Amino acid sequence: MTSIFKLIVISVLASCITVAEAAEKDPTSSAGLVADTENAVAKPIFKLGGFGTLGVSHSSQGLGDYVLDSTFPKGPGLSSNWATSNDSRIGVQVSANFTPKISAVLQVVSEYEADSNYRPGVEWANVKYAFTPDAYIRVGRIALPTFLYSNNREVGYSYPWIHPPVDLYRQLPMTNSDGLDASYRFEIGEAMNSIKIIYGRGKTDRPTSTSTAKDLRGIFDTLEYGPATLRVGYQERETSTLNLLTGVSGEWVPNSDLSIGAIYDAGDWFAMSEWIQRKSTTKLNAMYLSAGRRINQYTPYLTYSRNSQASFLPGFPAPTESAIQNAKRSESTASLGMRWDFMKNADIKLQLDQVHLGDDSNGYLANVPAGVILYGTRFHVISAVLDFVF
Amino acid sequence: MKPQILFRNCLAPFLAMSMYAASACADVVVVVSAKSAITHLTAEQVTKLFLGKTATFPNGGNAVPIDQAEGSSIRNEFYSRIANKTPSQISAYWTKIIFTGDGYPPKQLEGNLDVRNTVANNPNAIGYIDRSVVDSSVRVILAP
């Protein structure tokens, strides 16, 4: 954590505590919401909330661990029959509105980390200045909005699946960035368009390596009209990976992600799809297509997702043997699931995945013993979660 | 009201034994203060205001949406008619907005009279109430 970032976290915490005390002394402060906003006297409003998911999953492939992305050290399969690590987490969020223009948010999340613990980490800590209700800038640790569900991928209650479709979402496990973003929304006829730019740096911890991203810059546009949402995003960054086993840091490599996503939510039924093209020393793409139907408090859904093998781009040094092997990883997943909104602010979900490993690799299975070849095979994963918000 | 909509909004919850109790089929109307300059909004515009996708009326004025209590039949009917969304969908929607740091749901008041009186006294407010409690202090701008 850089010292500037520490400073931001401390100031957000300090301001939240100050506001919490103010809110305690003035129980009527939330009445400010209804006041005529032209004449509103600025009274700080302090809010505390949280979300969580308790999950368990089982994989029928006992020769490797089924993990959602490369940050997980292990999962169900080889290490254990059943595991809670893939889908369990808890988050707490404190936000404070100091004035109608200035607010701050701090979110702390505890989930399974690359070093096999659930130590809570700061997911976001930022201060927001809203020029108008439709334009703001934020400084601090900010959600990285790569995909449609990036901002809320840790909040299971906010989407239909057990987790966002893995074959696409695992392609960029980095969820936040330290820096700033700016957003502006405006109407185009009856449609709402919002455009966001981001600049910062980030870090991804994996069991045996740490990737650092610098000069991260991106632009994202979201158009919403009635039941339809369309999103296009592009981001670039320079990435270097430190191998924790050898202590050797890799060269800075330019990375870019182009993403396109759409949601159509008619109320009774819904469908969504995303596609991403990722470039570093290699190029690959990933996509998913999902659809579901709401029948009272039950939401059955189907999802298909896949990623391609990566092809090497010209202009880089000859790849290592392990890079060549990594580039061959491809997987596809067909999922059938059901969400049950059994009570207010909580749901239970069940999902069955059939995972198909590509013909030239063991896919994204972790901890597969040397010499075990599972190329082109299929296996099943069954998962259940309880999501809640408070 | 089209028969199909009547079924969806009024009868379906009874038949389905939904967990969200719907006690009666209220005739919901969207209102602003009689002092407001707004005379009409479309369902899409009202939806955007109540889902926090915009904070201003089409004429540029600040808008303060006033919601009804969670679980109330008028609230369920309002979101069903205006946005074709169930109570769980509205709840999941705000979960996403809150935990992405993008905002908070509108202030909730308890009951039609409270909403009507608050809207009547605030030219920036917009609310929805049962048609039976409309009086000269508020103006109906949409009957979804």
Residues B122-137: pLDDT tens digits?
999 999 999 999 999 9
Mean pLDDT of chain B: 84
Asked if A336 and A349 touch (Cβ cutoff 8 Å), the reply is no
pLDDT of residue B88: 87
Can you tell me the distance from the alpha carbon of A158 to that of A143, in angstroms, rounded to the nearest whole number? Answer: 16
List beta partners, residue A306: A287, A332
pLDDT on residue B60: 86
Q: Which of A153, A157, A160 is nearest to A291 (CA)?
A: A160
| Total domains present in chain B | 1
What whole-number distance in Å separates Cα of residue B7 and Cα of residue A34?
35
Name the residue range of residue A185's domain: 51-89+110-389
pLDDT of B17 reads: 42
Task: Find the mean pLDDT for residues B34-53.
Answer: 93
pLDDT, tens digit (0-9, with 9 covering 90-100), for A193-224: 999 999 999 999 999 999 999 999 999 999 99
**Domain range spanning residue B37?**
3-142
Chain B contacts of A292, Cβ < 8 Å? none
pLDDT digits (tens, 9 = 90+) for A43-74: 568 899 999 999 999 999 999 999 999 999 99
A38–B62 C-beta distance less than 8 A: yes
Whether the ipTM is more than 0.90: the answer is no
Alpha-carbon radius of gyration of chain A: 22
pTM of the model: 0.85
Mean pLDDT of chain A: 89
CA-to-CA distance for A310 and A313, rounded, in angstroms? Answer: 9
Q: Which residues on B lie below 8 Å from A128 (Cβ)? A: 101
Any residues with CB less than 8 A from the CB of B52 and at least 6 apart, and which? B97, B102, B103, B104, B105, B106
**pLDDT the model gives residue A100:** 86
pLDDT tens, position by position, B65-76? 999 999 999 999
User: Are the beta carbons of B101 and A152 separated by less than 8 Å?
Assistant: no
| Residues paired with residue A142 on neighbouring β-strands, in sequence order | A177
What confidence score (pLDDT) does residue A322 get? 87
Domain membership of residue A119 (yes or no) is yes
Q: Is the CB of B107 less than 8 angstroms away from the CB of A107?
A: no
Domain assignment of residue A82, yes or no: yes
> Domain with A72 in it: what CATH number?
2.40.160.10
Q: With beta carbons under 8 A apart, name residues in chain B contacting A344.
A: 70-71, 91
Please check whether residue A43 lies inside any domain of the structure.
Answer: no
Are the Cβ atoms of A38 and B45 closer than 8 angstroms?
Answer: no
Residue among B71, B99, B122 whose CB faces A155 most closely: B99
pLDDT of residue A45: 86
Q: What is the DSSP letter of A65?
A: B
The Cα–Cα gap between A22 and A43 comes to 9
Cβ separation B96–A134 shorter than 8 A: no
Residues of A in contact with B91 (CB under 8 A): 344-345
Which residues of chain A are under the pLDDT cut of 50? 1-2, 5, 7-8, 15-42
Chain A residues with CB under 8 Å of B45 CB are 190
Gap between the Cα atoms of A69 and A52, Å rounded: 19
* pLDDT the model gives residue A310: 96
CB contact under 8 A, A36 and B101: no
Q: What is the CATH number of the domain that holds B109?
A: 3.40.190.10
Shortest Cα distance from A250 to chain B (angstroms)? 33
Total domains in the fold of chain A: 1
